[in-house]
Amino acid sequence: MPYKTGFIKTVVLWGILLSGVPASSEQEFWDLPPLPEASEYGNVLIDRISLKNRIKPVAFSHWTHRQKYTCRVCHFELEFNMKVNTTEITEAANKEGRYCGTGGCHDGKTAFGHDKPYCEKCHNGDRSYGKEKFSELRNFPKSNFGNGINWVKALEKGLITPVNYLTIKPSDEISYDKGFSLEAEWRGIPVAVFSHRPHIKWLDCNNCHPDIFNIKKKTTKHFEMTRMLNGEFCGVCHMTVAFPLNDCKRCHPGMRE
């Protein structure tokens, strides 16, 4: 009865979503990973060689940095990879003015440098480091998950004015604001709406293309929700720093509460 498989999938899916007590196998399939506290969302502990050298891992907070710089600056200009511990950050490189130590960043002028008294400002091994400053953001537009902050709105309202480049100015010519809708794989799930516009305010084209997404619709292979939950595709950012996938309605506006 092939004509029924779509129907069955829909029924099963809604069954799982509505029942609230999914069986263990579905849990892997559908459950979203637990979220940290709002003040810790996007915080990463970097320990590539720190502990090996008997130094505490670095606590890095995305919410602190994204107020001042767009994603593009660090993940494009400064060549930070998108996965923790994969960038070969070393003390020497920082002191030479690369990565964290880039001029205009932690160079000892713009922000604290790499001298003795400041070690523990990063090498503190504490994921919640700097938490007390989070309350300063209490008047920011709200969202339901992640940092509990609607960063897109915060930017639109001018509550933050992150710098978009240090030395490599993005072309003014790229005014790419094409949006489109993406059919859901499962019947009964409303379409996802994607817009380039809010993305290019933070990102450079190459942050997403072509590694994460191909540039032609429907040519990105295995672009599925389950993969995103696994940290692929949208999940590269929207599980780690940008609003998490728990916020269904933000992409699937037709989704019922």
Q: Which residues bind other proteins (CB under 8 A)?
A: 5, 8-9, 11-12, 25-26, 28-29, 77, 79, 81-83, 86, 88, 168, 170-171, 173-178, 204-207, 209-216, 219-223, 226-228, 230-233, 235-236
Give the residue with the Cβ less far from other proteins, 35 or 168: 168
Give the residue with the Cβ less far from other proteins, 138 or 222: 222
3-state secondary structure the chain: CHHHHHHHHHHHHHHHHHHCCCCHHHHHHHCCCCCCCHHHCCEEEECCCCHHHCCCCEEEEHHHHCCCECHHHHHHHCCCCCCCCCCCCCHHHHHCCCHHHCCCCCCCCCCCCCCHHHHHHHECCCCCCCHHHHHHHCCCCECCCCCCECHHHHHHCCCCCCECCCCCCCCCCCCCCCEEEECCCCCCCCCEEEEHHHHHCCCCHHHHCCCCCCCCCCCCCCCCHHHHHCCCHHHHCCCCCCCCCCCHHHHCCCCCC
Give the residue with the Cβ less far from other proteins, 21 or 132: 21
Q: How far is the CB of 217 from other proteins (least distance, A)?
A: 11
Give the residue with the Cβ less far from other proteins, 9 or 127: 9
Give the residue with the Cβ less far from other proteins, 41 or 223: 223
Q: How far is the CB of 122 from other proteins (least distance, A)?
A: 23
Q: How far is the CB of 76 from other proteins (least distance, A)?
A: 8
Q: How far is the CB of 31 from other proteins (least distance, A)?
A: 12
Q: How far is the CB of 62 from other proteins (least distance, A)?
A: 16
